[in-house]
Structure 1
Amino acid sequence: MKYLSGNVLVYKLALALLVLLAWSQVQARSLPDFTELAESNSPAVVNISTTQKIKRGPRLPENLQIPELPEDSPFHDFFRHFFDEDGNAPMPRDAKSLGSGFIISADGYVMTNNHVIRDADEVIVRLSDRREFTAKIVGSDARSDVALLKIDAGSLPIVKIGKSNDLKVGEWVLAIGSPFGFDHSVTAGIVSAKGRSLPSENYVPFIQTDVAINPGNSGGPLFNMDGEVIGVNSQIYSRTGGFMGLSFAIPIEVAMNVADQLKTKGRVTRGWLGVLIQDVTADLAESFDMDKPRGALVSRVLPDSPASRAGFEVGDVILAFNGDEVNHSKDLPPLVGRTPVNESVPVRVLRQGKTRTLKVVIGELPAEDEIRVANNEPKTSQLNRIGVTVSELTDAQRKKIEIDAGGVLVNEVDGAAAQAGLRRGDVITMLNNEKISGIEQFEKVVKKLPANQSVPVLIHRARSGPVFLALKITDEK
């Protein structure tokens, strides 16, 4: 066995230490420092709290009383939670929620999510210096989940707007917000993917990250390492209700476009083509004699749509839209949505093995109800004063309950309707002695119903046939 001399051993140990030190310095340089970014941008991030008035619910039917139960009974707390001793629901109360936002102009315009301020009766914006302002909702857009607020203040700190298109997968990003009400919490991660299409919204190409986002972060900014806002934190994917490593942000270009439209005209318009599309699979690509799967396959052309007027056909594969390549079907809706209405654009399609270019004049995206009608989907209503949501009957449903015409299908039941005994799946054919022909006429009848007076409602119920019920609305002043 050979032994190294003392000098050689010391030399080699010193060399190893130098290599280790250099490697640690390289590692340290590769990890980002978020301190300056967080410190400089936190003043422009705000906490948003909302209040919503919750009305008193229905009381128990007159012939039903809360049973006398011992206090240690599990049902005692259950009944006391929902009703008082007289069978009344609890008094009206305020429902509160929290979210985040950020200041985009020094004169007080604040951006946040639509779902943060939806149905709010009051919106309070709290700044980092603890000042609080009652905000005015300038406008909101459910499709993109963007809302614009205005507070009466000036010389405010603002964020710097960046470009999400310049983001790269794997790039570091940082979020500032108020998860669970903890103001100005900072979390960081990387960009996991770009251009994600979620089931709830096809017109937003979401940025996917692994930044920790929790309730209260919604509406807060997502920064790149240059301190620029490149997204608005909107939602997470979770099986538990908490963060699981999948968070999604609205690209800032989309959010700013929506905010500008809300500010200038109070509503948002989007381009519309009028086709139903699907992905081109490997088998479909082979059947269309394509070299590889790509594009958006047209499965239906809606009648009286821009696509039908431009000559689109079922079976066309859209390969490019206005010069932008369409590799997946999810690529097309955002491209169409951001195109100005009435603009004529070229669309390259593959039809029967040959490519051709069609010129289409982009229309305005209709309301969701109009799209459902065009797709032969049943029209639905919102929750109304009697406490039901209803939809039009399909041919199959009419055949099943043997109703040739008229009537509306009950989807949700609450309030006066639930107290009267209506159930989900009932078909309302007559209300207050007026025959119901459809949703619009039904809503008109509902608006005219007298308060504090019983009115007859005729329903058709599976296996029971037609049944009259007494409906009574108690309007609160």
Structure 2
Amino acid sequence: MNKKFTFAAIALIAAGVAGGYAISATTNKPYNSILQDDPKPLVQTSYTGSSANAAQPVDFERAAGTAVPSVVHIRTVVKFKQASIQQRGQRGDNPFGMDDDIFQRFFGDEGGSRQFRRPDQKASGSGVIISEDGYIVTNNHVVDGASEVTVTLNDRKNYSAKVIGTDPNTDLALVKIDAKGLPVMPLGNSDETKLGQWVLAIGYPLNLDVTVTQGIISAKSRNIGINRQGSAPVEAFLQTDAAVNPGSSGGALVNTNGELVGINAAIASPTGSYAGYAYSIPSNLMKKVIGDIMKFGSVQRGYLGISMAPENLEDAQKKELGIPDNLNGVFVVDTDPSGAAAAAGVKKGDAITKVNDVVVTSGAQLSEQIARQKPGDKVSLTVLRGGKENVLNVTLKGKMGAMASQMAAAVESLGAELKPLSPEQARKLGIAGGLQVTDISDGVLDAQTNMKEGFVITKIGGIPVKNLDELKAALAKQNGNFQIEGTYPGSGNVYYYGINDFNR
């Protein structure tokens, strides 16, 4: 969680009318904000009327006071196993000319390897209570690989937690503690959030106690290319200027009625700490994902089976792909022959403008709408083709499809962690954009090149790439041998790395 793009949180939660946390009803079944559709009586936290019509307050005391008890502190421990490093020399081939027995005593065993144990890694994040009997939502990256998970409630009580399920594609996770009568935060409707609407960010940043910050919704359906945990990541963030810092992962984004509308999921920063922008996973998407985990043990995701044009393309790239000027929709670059879209009649060159009558103008909006569906669900697509509008009924399939799987596998085969440059970073390097290599492990880059961490990839086979979608599309066009072009920050030079026999 100390990456330059620092992931944060998610919580998802509940039934929601205007108000604070839910009051226990007269039932023996613990209230669960994800699985129960009937809203419980709520404490009114700010103003009467719907959140859309309510006057914006200057005092957030009630909203904060009712939401804070539902946000928890999560601490994790990742235990490292004993590892070994193979020495360059085997027995009798030490570089110091000393006796082999002395050399082995200091530097390794008879097999030429040195054993060591890495220290345990500790981290912390936040989470949101979604049921009275101990279910809590947080980020996948908060608990990923953790051998120990401890939850501290707002009243300072500590509990050992168990990870119930995770979804790397949305960076969501569900954990459970053995407790009863917990305060559940009501779930707001993230679709109804408006630009300029006041929100609160609640979490446990920088190992501090619970912290509340205030800001507005500054953008919706943001895709910043930060989620590299899953094979088919979904990013459609709510953007806010409420301050979020490392440790806020899993914390809540709350409206002025005390309802959860998102989870603080990431920050865009050159330092790893807050620098003006934070990103939250919409509550409507979270409710679907966590609901699937609670019902089925895993996420039941429907797939459309199309390749979308990357956003922010230059005019020359649009012309090459055949994208018309002033397109107000999502351009279909290609369809998977075995996918749901192709079966329904969607064709290469179509522009999808609506999903179930919800307007979509970006890939992030389209991905979020489809991610809310499960295999077998029927969705209505409004498609522009040849200047005419068509409505196609699509039955979603339960697998990603061959085309999308191959594109994701191609990126994974490189064996590198990649981070899109911010506009400021690109400007300083004098380039339009690129992907910086932050880590290299086993894969094509390690096996075929001497590329170092920090390298910025600007072109694949002569095709400019500025984000992961463009990288996937560029790799899909390569056939066997190609060059990776880029630069090292501060070098002022262009470098080329040749790749041979690349399998898409």
Shorter-chain TM-score: what band?
0.5 to 0.7
In the superposition, relative to structure 1, how do residues 244 and 381 fare at CA in structure 2: closer, same or farther (>3 Å)?
same
Please tell me whether residue 56 in structure 1 is matched to residue 85 in structure 2: no
Q: Which of the pair is proportionally richer in helix?
A: 1
Runs (5+) with no aligned partner, structure 2 = 1-54, 97-104, 109-113, 228-232, 418-439, 450-497, 500-504
Counterpart of 1:424 in structure 2 is 446
| Residues 149/362 of structure 1: CA separation in 2 closer, same or farther (3 Å cut) | same
| Structure-2 residue corresponding to 1:186 | 212
SS at match of 1:130: coil
Distance 1:230 1:289, change over 3 A: closer
Once residues 249 and 112 of structure 1 are traced to their aligned partners in structure 2, the CA distance between those partners, rounded to angstroms, is 12
- Check whether the contact 1:66–1:85 (CA below 8 A) recurs between aligned residues: no
1:364 corresponds to which residue?
Answer: 398
- 1:150 counterpart residue number: 176
What does residue range 37-76 of structure 1 map to in structure 2 within 5 Å? 37-59=63-85, 61=87, 62=90
Counterpart of 2:202 in structure 1 is 176
- Which residue is 1:94 aligned to? 120
Q: Is the 8 A contact 2:414 2:445 kept in 1?
A: no
**Considering only CA atoms, is the larger Rg found in Structure 1 or Structure 2?**
1
SS of equivalent to 2:374: coil
C-alpha distance in 2 between matches for 1:171 and 1:92: 46
Q: 1:347, 1:360 within 8 Å by CA — same for their partners in 2? A: yes
In the alignment, which residue of structure 2 is the partner of 1:196? 222
In the alignment, is residue 348 of structure 1 matched against residue 382 of structure 2? yes
The change in CA–CA distance for 1:49 and 1:311 in structure 2 (over 3 A counts) is same
Q: Are the equivalent residues in 2 in contact too, given 1:125–1:133 (CA < 8 A)? A: yes
Shift of 1:85: 5.1
From 261, 264, 276, give the equivalent of 1:230.
Answer: 261
The answer to whether the 8 Å contact 2:79/2:120 transfers is: yes
Question: SS state of the match for residue 150, structure 2?
Answer: strand
Q: How does 1:273-352 map to 2 (within 5 A)?
A: 273-278=304-309, 292-352=326-386
Cα distance in 2 for residues equivalent to 1:170 and 1:180: 27
TM-score normalized with structure 1 length = 0.66
Gaps of 5+ in 1: 1-28, 68-83, 390-410, 415-421, 428-461, 464-477
Structure 1 counterpart of 2:348, which letter?
A: V
Alpha carbons of 1:133 and 1:276: their partners in 2 closer, same or farther (altered >3 Å)?
Answer: same
Deviations 1:265-321 (A, max 9, x none): 010022211111226989769x99989421111111112111221222211122222
Letter of the structure 2 residue corresponding to residue 99 of structure 1: G
Pair 1:209-2:231 in alignment: no
Check whether the contact 2:202–2:212 (CA below 8 A) recurs between aligned residues.
yes
TM-score w.r.t. length of structure 2: 0.62
Distance 1:100 1:38 in 2: 16
1:33 aligns with 2:59: yes
**Which residue matches 2:490?**
none
SS in 2 for 1:378: helix
Q: Is the contact made by 2:79 and 2:121 (CA closer than 8 Å) also made in structure 1?
A: yes
CA contact (8 A) 2:262 2:283 kept: yes
Between the two proteins, the alignment pairs up a number of residues equal to 352
SS where residue 42 of structure 1 aligns? helix
Tell me how large the CA RMSD over aligned residues is: 3.7
Q: Deviation of residue 380 (structure 1)?
A: 4.7
Name the aligned partner's letter for residue 194 of structure 1. K
Classify the secondary structure of the residue corresponding to 2:65: helix
CA distance in structure 2 between the aligned counterparts of 1:291 and 1:180, rounded to whole angstroms: 46
Structure 1 counterpart of 2:271, from 240, 248, 251: 240
Aligned identity (percent) is 35
Q: Does 1:412 align with 2:437?
A: no
CA drift of 1:58 comes to 2.0
**1:378 paired residue number:** 410
Residue among 255, 266, 274 paired with 2:286: 255
Question: Is the 2:380–2:394 contact (alpha carbons within 8 Å) kept by the matching residues of 1?
Answer: yes
Structure 1 residue identity aligned to 2:358:
D
The 8 Å contact of residues 289 and 353 in structure 1, kept in 2 or not, is answered as no
Give the SS at the match of 1:293: coil
SS of structure 2 residue aligned to 1:271: coil
